[in-house]
Amino acid sequence: KRAMLETIKMQGHHISGLLPNPSWGPDMLRLYEHYKSQCEVEVEGGEKQGALWQRLPSYNRSIKYATGGAFLSRTIQSKARLFTRNITEPGAGFEYVLFANKKEQKCVCIFQPGHLLEGPPGHVHGGAIATMIDTVTGSHAVFLYGAIMTANLNINYRSPISLGSTVLVESTVDKMEGRKTLLSCKVTSTDGSKLYTEATVIFGKLNNLFKLKCLNKDC
Amino acid sequence: KRAMLETIKMQGHHISGLLPNPSWGPDMLRLYEHYKSQCEVEVEGGEKQGALWQRLPSYNRSIKYATGGAFLSRTIQSKARLFTRNITEPGAGFEYVLFANKKEQKCVCIFQPGHLLEGPPGHVHGGAIATMIDTVTGSHAVFLYGAIMTANLNINYRSPISLGSTVLVESTVDKMEGRKTLLSCKVTSTDGSKLYTEATVIFGKLNNLFKLKCLNKDC
């Protein structure tokens, strides 16, 4: 039993902890260092200095995210894995890291799509782009408002994204309307000059992550 | 070299040919048999009898689909894999089979999402649902009109889908407008009584699958 626990802990560590990994290209590394350098830094006595940015953790199950990464004994046997963290080979699937800026209500994701995300030859599948847009805006909304579920996803694909390239996925809050949160999302080149994809996303707020019913209703 | 060729052929066969596999549940199998029984049947002399439905092949790269599954020597070394066929463990990822009905301009997909597609605990990730909607409507549009690229994807998520369940993804053609094709898509329970997700999708027609530029423009 202890061995199983260790394995699961190691898997979690492998997926959520080891940032960056050897598959990251120079663009991904540079941007990661750029945002990391603006994150909270511990000063004397373990206190944290206020900072613009904060890295959002990414676990291999959203249930871990909802509980701050705590180990849940009732899911110990479960083989379920977060869709974006189901490929273990570094660089083959979704390589990404998220940073949030609470003051500006903004979230930035550095995303390096791997060769297993192919749609059109040599380019990223529209569904993989949709997945990252849902993930970035969803993580952003969870960070700001707690448990949510996607209600609407509206994506305009402007230009195809090459496999192995590095892009920025940026989420901004448009407004809160009752229990709904509206966000905008853009996928651009790392210098922001080229727009690949843009989207609007609506999330419904939940009282509890386990209450998965009554979406798209004002309940 | 021959060994490599054989391996690649076998991989292709494994992924595109072995339908159904042992992970398919009773609902998936029953629906597969239902549509298959309405497909073309070879009669005496190898001629094909007209039939309502036709199974759409699914390869591990769309470049194979575009060439009718032909082997392409220049991509022999490529590790790229179609996003929906990148998980080799049966039942773990996207289990699906597609049938098209040319007369009714309709396409049906039987979809059994596996445990590696998790979003909310125990349920399918919104991005994985978006991926299947893009795949079904995209395959449908390719079947009817040839090479296309997704221009817009607009999805309403009504109710979460449990991991391991079987659902129907149905695509219908709304209209053709110049070089654009508009389709509607619904994800329902296998008896059609429960609506999980609905979407509209716009595709831009391409002259050539390798011409990946100029989307969302009337070019």
Q: Is-contact A165 A129, C-beta < 8 A? A: no
What's the CA gap between B196 and B199, in Å, rounded?
A: 11
The verdict on residue A152 lying in a domain is yes
> Count of residues for chain B?
219
- Inter-chain contact B83–A158, Cβ cutoff 8 Å? no
Buried b / exposed e along B64-96 (16+ C-beta atoms within 10 A)? bbbeeeeeeeeeeebebbbbbbbbeeebbbbbb
Q: Smallest Cβ distance to B118: which of A81, A116, A213?
A: A81
The verdict on residue B5 lying in a domain is no
Please give the residue that has the higher pLDDT: either B171 or A56.
B171
- Inter-chain contact A78–B115, Cβ cutoff 8 Å? yes
The verdict on residue A111 lying in a domain is yes
The mean-pLDDT minimum among A31-45, A97-111, B46-60 falls in B46-60
CATH of the domain at A113: 3.10.129.10
> For chain A, how are helix, strand and coil distributed in percent, rounded to 5?
30, 30, 40
Asked if A162 has any chain B CB less than 8 Å from its own CB, the reply is: no
Query: pLDDT digits over A76-106, tens only?
Result: 447 888 999 999 899 999 999 999 998 899 9
pLDDT of residue A64: 61
Q: What's the total number of domains in chain B?
A: 1
Query: pLDDT digits over A156-170, tens only?
Result: 999 999 999 999 999
The verdict on residue A134 lying in a domain is yes
Q: What is the dihedral of CA B72, B78, B83, B84, to 10 degrees?
A: 50
Residue (of A139, A126, A142) closest to A187 by Cα position: A126
Beta bridge partners of A153: A201, B155
The verdict on residue A129 lying in a domain is yes
Catalytic center residues of B:
134
* Residue B57 DSSP class: P
Q: Please give the model's pTM, rounded to 2 decimal places.
A: 0.84
- State the sign of the Cα–Cα–Cα–Cα dihedral A96, B75, B93, B57: positive
- The pLDDT-based confidence of B197 (bands split at 50, 70, 90) is very high
The verdict on residue A67 lying in a domain is yes
The verdict on residue A88 lying in a domain is yes
Window B:29-58, CB contacts with A under 8 Å: none
Query: pLDDT digits over A15-38, tens only?
Result: 444 688 999 999 999 999 999 999
The verdict on residue A216 lying in a domain is no
Range of the domain at B153: 26-39+50-205
Chain position carrying tokens 């189901």: A86
Partners of B117 on chain A (C-beta within 8 Å) are: 83, 86
- The pLDDT-based confidence of B51 (bands split at 50, 70, 90) is confident
What's the CA gap between A82 and B125, in Å, rounded?
A: 8
- Inter-chain contact B117–A83, Cβ cutoff 8 Å? yes
Tell me what percent of the residues of chain B surpass a pLDDT of 90: 59
pLDDT of residue A208: 55
